[in-house]
Amino acid sequence: AHPTRLALLEILAGEGSATATRCAELSGQSVASCSFHLRTLARFGFIEAVPGEGRQKPWRLASLRQQVAIDAGAGAGGDASKPAGDAFDEFFLRHEFARIRAWLQRRGEESEAWRRASLMSGAPAWLTPEELAEISAEVDALIERHFVRRLRDDGRRTHGGGKAGDGTAGHGTAGHGTDGRQPVRLFIASSVGLFTPLED
């Protein structure tokens, strides 16, 4: 669970595709470090090289969705990969929670429309595995329709607002594009058998 690798995944999600040099510019890491971590991500199937781009090798996400696989067999003895998997899960959660906390700290800077549109919610229910699987599939379909497909259709957008190459990049304010859009991250997870509030 390396922070540079998660940062690179986010850069590729925002840029559409990027070389190690571009990733270094955006992440503050060296080109050599970015190149190493990009190759590692490619080896594990998270990203892939963009074909036919010449000597400067751009990379892109193999999938526009970042998802942690919950292994039904996790916890069984003898699984040497479990500690590494647990470490990644923990890092992924800390990363998402840090992003949510950052939004809560700066939401007062946003307009009332953005504050009203944002969501933080939770609800308990007694479900069978089949019912939970059905809900998960519906949520997956929603993410595909409103996030993955839209990001794929919109193409590359810069953090300064606007789409790169169309003359509007960098002309938004506070991260807003000239069309009123800005990056939105949706994080959804379910926990099983945990109705009782947990101590921090």
Residue 107 lies in a domain: no
Q: How far apart are CA 104 and CA 81, in angstroms?
A: 35
Question: Tens digits of per-residue pLDDT, 78-109?
Answer: 455 555 556 667 777 887 888 899 999 999 99
Domain count, the chain: 1
Residue 52 inside a domain? The answer is yes
Q: Is residue 16 part of a domain?
A: yes
Question: What is the per-residue pLDDT across 137-176, written as a single tens digit (0 to 9) for each?
Answer: 999 898 888 877 776 666 545 444 333 333 333 333 345 6
- 117 occurs within a structural domain: no
Any domain includes 17: yes
How high is the pLDDT of residue 183? Answer: 78
Structural domain of 10: 3-61
| CATH number for the domain that contains residue 45 | 1.10.10.10
Q: Bigger pLDDT: 53 or 148?
A: 148
Establish if 98 belongs to a structural domain. no
Query: Has residue 162 been placed in a domain?
Result: no
Q: How confident is the model at residue 178 (pLDDT cuts 50, 70, 90)?
A: low
